[in-house]
Structure 1
Amino acid sequence: MNLLQKTTESNMKSQLLVFLSLFCFWTAISEDVPKSPNKEDGLPDDVLKMIAQADIQNIGDLENLLGVEAKDPAGFSPRSRTVHARPKAAGCKTRAITVDVPRYKVDPTSVGFFLWPSCVEVQRCSGCCNTKTYKCIPSHAIYRPFQIAKLTYRYGHKELTVHTVSIREHLSCQCTELAKLHHPRFPSKYYKQSTDN
């Protein structure tokens, strides 16, 4: 009876020790887990919304909006410092980019031809918005026509034809809240991937 009692006490102590170890481990891990994945660095929603909708061109604009002065960890005043360049935000706007001419738009039935030019320059929206909850998207776009030369070689003869290909170009952009963007009903694997051309 005494041996059974000692074994039971030993088992209880072992179980209690395992439980306390797991509790301490869980407490340590849970402190590193972000509390809310939708918030940026724990900022309140009203502050995030105010920042997201403001026209911020530089750090001074951000200081004025928030009513605080930025501090430099090195101890220099940001206003008097001239050694380091101030960052310039890559704002949401149209920029010239290079896009490959989609071969299927010239001739969807063949692959044995040469295109010139093989790529064109168009305006597309790019840049960042003030918060991660907003995305830079086109607010107005058109399809711009390009003349593309197609060279084929048939039965020993060269044949050069000119084709008009329409490629999408963005005219204006805006930061739009991700929650307001269209979410498809089915997973993306059910949709044909768009090249935005």
Structure 2
Amino acid sequence: MTDYENAKVFIDCNPSFSIYTQMALVSADYLIIPVMADFSSLEGIKGILMLLYGKYPSAATLNYANKVVTFNRQINQFGLGLPKIYEVVFNNYTVNSGVATAYDSVRQELIKYSYDQYVADPNVFASCATSVTSQSVWEGFYISNVKDFHTSGKVSASLGIPVHRLPEKTDYPMPNGDSVNLPKKNYELALSNLEDFVGKIN
């Protein structure tokens, strides 16, 4: 057992707020939120803040919450702990210039909203080693980018090849006869992203 005393355990949850997700949340110390640069992710962040921490965006939603049984109220009633938000990870981005410009516009809106929540109540977030004096400093602590493996994942699943072996080639013939190109630089970038992200976990 001593070999695992300092181990980090990750509990992967689906986006629904099922009983299993609730059990995972009350068992965790920290929360890593994967997002994409779209407005559904913004609504997802708002949902997390409401359901977990009782941060309601309007008087109307607060008034409604006061009339029903909420997860946050149950947590407080029974003296349970909640995980602190540790990192917001953007897991789907592109280097295509046109798409990247549109992507970054929405991404910045999500970051600004998340930073505003930190300013309003930093206790919801994991503590930092140094003080946060600006949004850019906050981003350095709480925002990460990890390139997705969508194309690689589809090739891996279709051909039965483990992802870690895909860099052995750059072109793969698919069952329908089409050839899919997987540039090695994509793996290098993704690995660099992962190393940066893991380096933040201590």
Q: Which protein is richer in helix relative to its size?
A: 2
Indicate the TM-score class for this superposition, using the shorter chain for normalisation: under 0.3
* TM-score, normalised via structure 1 length: 0.23
Q: Computing the radius of gyration over CA atoms, which structure comes out larger, 1 or 2?
A: 1
Q: Which protein is richer in strand relative to its size?
A: 1
